[in-house]
Amino acid sequence: MPSLIQKINTLISANIHALVDSALEQNSVKVMDEYIRQAARNLDALEDQAATVGGTVKTLKRKYDEFAAAAEKLDRDIDTLLMRGKTDLAGAAQAELNQKQQLAQEYYEQWQAQEQEYRRMLDAKLKLEAKLTTIKQEREHLKALLELVEAKEMTTKAIKSIDDLAGMGDDDVARLGEQIRTRLDREEARMEMASSNLKEQIDDAIGMTEIELQLEERRQRLGLGGESGEG
């Protein structure tokens, strides 16, 4: 069974263009809704797991600090005992020092391993949140486009009915048919504009997301904390 991180990485690597194409083919945003549901569920699970690992990191670091401090004190005590000629006590202290240094090293290695896992989880969380935001935005854009297509289809059906009536020679009905055709032309133009801009909107959204992730990583590295605007 795939691990949580594997599931998260699969969601992060999802192709937005493929999702949009699939939604257009199905004439429905359901495929995008399913992605959003899966991403939200896995984000919740990742947050819970990251909290647990983060707690473990703190515990391991505290244990390492405790044993490292104890080892440092013992090291000084051994020198003092030797200077006072208490060789037996110095030998016992040295044995204890060796044990504490070993334990400190073990805690250090565990701490570092868990710290890497914790950072990996936080990085995956940021990336999936950014991807989810982009998908939600494109879902709304696509929904509006599909609604426009549906409106066009309804107008086309209305025009066909008007054409049938116009063939009877009713001038008023013919004028109404022309008005509907004019509105249809306008709606078709809008749909063409929306379709041509859709890819640019997706690319822009993805591009901004990447920039935001890079800036966030840079802030964390510089110890600047959360986002901050220009003063």
Contacts of 186 (CB under 8 A, 6+ apart): none
Q: Using an 8 Å Cβ cutoff, are 10 and 2 in contact?
A: yes
Please check the confidence at residue 116 and state whether its pLDDT lies above 80.
yes
Token pair for residue 101?
């240094």
**Is 153 within the bounds of a domain?**
yes
In a domain, 63, yes or no: yes
Inside any domain, residue 231:
no
Q: Where does the pLDDT of residue 173 fall: very low under 50, low under 70, confident under 90, or very high at 90 and above?
A: very low
Whether 68 has a pLDDT exceeding 70, the answer reads yes
Does residue 172 belong to any structural domain of this protein? yes
Q: Tell me: the pLDDT tens digits for 88-102?
A: 999 999 999 999 999
109 falls within a domain: yes
Task: Evaluate whether residue 228 is within a structural domain.
Answer: no
**Residue at 227 is within a domain:** no
Q: Once rounded to an integer, what is the mean pLDDT over residues 113-119?
A: 95
Q: What share of the chain is helix, strand, coil (3-state, %, to 5)?
A: 90, 0, 10
Q: How many independent structural domains does the chain possess?
A: 1
48 in a domain, yes or no? Answer: yes
Give the structural domain span for 203: 4-222
